[in-house]
A and B are shown apart, each in its own frame.
Chain A
Amino acid sequence: MSNLSSAERSTAPVSPLLTVKQLRVDLPVAKGTLHAVRGIDFHVERGEMLCLVGESGCGKSMTSLALMGLLPRKAQVNADCLDFDGVDLLTVSDRERSNLRGARMAMIFQEPMTALNPAYTLGNQLCEALRRHQRVSRKAAHDRALYLLERVGISAAEERMRQYPHQLSGGLRQRVMIAMALMCEPDLIIADEPTTALDVTIQAQILHLLRDLQQEFGTAVIFITHDLGVVARIADRVAVMYAGEVIETASAQALFQAPSHPYTQGLLRCIPTPGKTLPGSRLQAIPGVVPNLVEKVDGCAFCNRCDQADELCHTTPPLQTVADGHLSRCHFAHQLANPATINAQEVTL
């Protein structure tokens, strides 16, 4: 199933690895129903790094849990299409789902201490990931674990295999999580804020490693983060989420050079950027707060915080194509994407 070399993989057909159409996730809460994800579309190509970016509560983690089938039972997942390499993730049985999970799609969580089992050695947990899905000998599993630990930059790997999670630092644990995700050579890794809990120096090392391995193994990655600096440096493509919707998708280059949604533009303007923002000056904050997703959201979800909103914004904006592969959910996307407007904004920085 998954012992394909990366060369064989690259000759696979060119349909997207994952296609998501109109995904909705509803959660029952005390005051009604929380519409955490409100009809999102995106796809992931084989071997690409897609960044899902957005602030807390925008639905990015719910999306990843829905893909992995890890949402609580009471959560309702609906979609027009949720296709993972020919497998319909909406109708798949629990058994097939758990055969998929770990083998063909793996997950790296934010906090490796809670994701690793404190009662088992690392070697034990690494080997289990492989032996759960493939009929391989203990020796073969051990060798693969050892190889991957060395690949993720852990020295004295043989000794580490016998250690428990608490004996490792946060950065090392996250390396182990990456090695574990790669044990079965999955087609897709979902990494949910994997470096948020780490120091900047360790973050740079882990991201460097993840990017290297992703390219070497040809694995597709959905990388979930709120950090636009990280997005700029690692993403092939970006999907920006706001209030349970994808409001803009583009290649990383296009998104940062010509953001075409007021929210994306606001996000890029409000972070202090050396060389762009004057130290000690006021930052251009986005006023207001995100809408409550328990209540029904009419029209554009961002219109109450948007400085360019008008009457039209009380109607739901369509997803508009502003350039090849660059979509924006804003009535004024075309004006915003126009370089003349963007230059004018840069001057005001």
Chain B
Amino acid sequence: MSSAANHFKPLALELCALSKTFKLGGGMLHKSQTLTAVNNVSLRVPRGQVMGLVGESGCGKSTLAKILLGLTPPSEGDVLINGKAIVNANQKALARHIQPIFQDPYSSLNPRQRIAQIVGLPLRIHGIGTQKEQAAKVDEMLELVGLPKRAAQQYPGQMSGGQRQRVAIARALIMRPDLVICDEPTSALDVSVQAQILNLLLDLKDEFGLTYLFISHDLAVVEHLADRLAVMYLGKIVEEGTREQIFTAPRHPYTQALLASALTPEPGLGVPDIGLGAGQPDPTRPPSGCAFHPRCPIAQPQCSEQSPKLTDLIQSAAQGTTQPNHPRVACHFA
């Protein structure tokens, strides 16, 4: 936790060549297909930072989140949390370090339980404290996320979307995890409420020294929150760097198109013609070479033959804890 303040930047999360493939279909008449949802993903998230993860639907962001939460095992590769591999770790132990906040607070809370039960459930499962201590902790947590005391006795159905998301945040943080996976935590909320929740997430991060993996398709929100950013396309990371690097000088053509298509509230600019071809290709039949080449405005013949490699993470003397200070890009022409 935050007490372990370190002057070198230890990693809260490290992904080493992580892959996940699914077998689809198969049977008497159909040949089974393999879908590579996450393809050789390596990523390092230093403690106390916010890593933004962006990409279109179907790019593998949510599968990645599921692997991290231990909800599905990876096909290949390792996940290290605080330097320890989690691949065969027991899920209960894992839950103490990593917790999720999901997109839809309407379906992620049990409608038949009172808020106090929902928020206190992790404590009961892990057998932490007496009933009285648990209740006190729930009250403390509800206050931290800005809910009134009476909320404890309410049901989710009596609450607004923003209040429910506060409940989900309280539940995620009551175990004092190190790492929180935020999977589109504000996209189901109204803009005025979104700002309240983003502020809360920022406050709690400082208070508890949390590390966030922040998955979103809203680039303005990611730019506001993230220290670093990874861009995914068809299961692969195509570019990774600091917020400044990605937003001021994006190098991958896909990142450039994503940034161009973010509509900022500036009248008179019109809708940009981003010049991407058709939609995403079928992930069961990814294009040869660079997966982005059919949509890429600068594609060359080489791109359909050779798959560009993501620049490697630079190993440094400080036991692999240093981030490369140049962005990593997977493009022949970056």
Q: How many whole Å from B306's CB to the nearest CB in chain A? A: 24
Contact A208 B271 (CB under 8 A): yes
> For the side of the interface on B, what is the size category?
35 or more
Closest chain-A Cβ to B308's Cβ sits at a distance in Å of: 20
Chain B, 177-203, contact with A by CB distance < 8 Å: what is the 0/1 string? 000000000000011111110110011
Q: Which of A155, A205, A274 contacts B264 (CB 8 A)?
A: A274
**Size category of the binding interface on chain A:** 35 or more
> Known contacts being A227-B263, A229-B262, is A253 close to B268, with CB within 8 Å?
yes
Q: Report chain B residues within 8 Å CB of A273.
A: 220, 264-265
Q: B224 contacts which chain A residues (CB < 8 A)?
A: 272, 277, 279-280, 283
- Number of interchain pairs (Cβ within 8 Å): 137
Q: What is the interface of chain A mostly: helix, strand, loop, or mixed?
A: helix
- In the complex with contacts A270-B195, A274-B223, A280-B267 CB distance below 8 A: no
Q: Which residue of B lies closest to A275 (CB)?
A: B264
Give A201 to B274 CA distance when docked, in angstroms: 8
Check A284 for interface membership: any CB of B closer than 8 A: yes
| B191 with A232: CB separation less than 8 A | no
User: Does B276 count as interface, using CB distance less than 8 angstroms?
Assistant: yes
B261–A200 contact, CB under 8 A? yes
A199→B274 CA distance, assembly (Å):
13
A12 CB–B CB distance under 8 Å:
no
Chain B residue nearest in CB terms to A201: B261
Report how far A279 CA is from B223 CA in the complex, Å.
7
Task: Name B50's closest neighbour in chain A (CB-CB).
Answer: A280
Q: Which of B139-167 contact A (CB under 8 A)?
A: 160-162
Among A155, A211, A257, A267, the residue within 8 A (CB) of B271 is A211
Residues of A within 8 A of B225 (CB): 279-280
Question: Does residue A217 face the partner (Cβ distance < 8 Å to B)?
Answer: no
Task: Decide yes or no: A289 and B195 within 8 Å by CB, A56-B190, A200-B217, A200-B219 being known contacts.
Answer: no
B195, B196, B199 — most chain A CB neighbours (10 Å): B195
Pull 6 A–B residue pairs with CB atoms less than 8 Å apart, ordered by A: A204-B261, A253-B267, A270-B195, A280-B202, A280-B227, A289-B193
A residues touching B (Cβ–Cβ < 8 Å)? Answer: 55-56, 155, 169, 171-172, 199-205, 207-208, 211, 226-235, 252-253, 255-257, 266-268, 270-274, 277, 279-280, 282-287, 289
A-B residue pairs, 9 tightest by C-beta: A272-B224, A229-B263, A285-B195, A204-B261, A270-B195, A55-B190, A283-B195, A286-B192, A199-B56
Contacts A233-B266, A233-B267 known; 6 new A-B pairs at CB < 8 A:
A211-B270, A227-B263, A252-B267, A256-B266, A267-B192, A280-B202
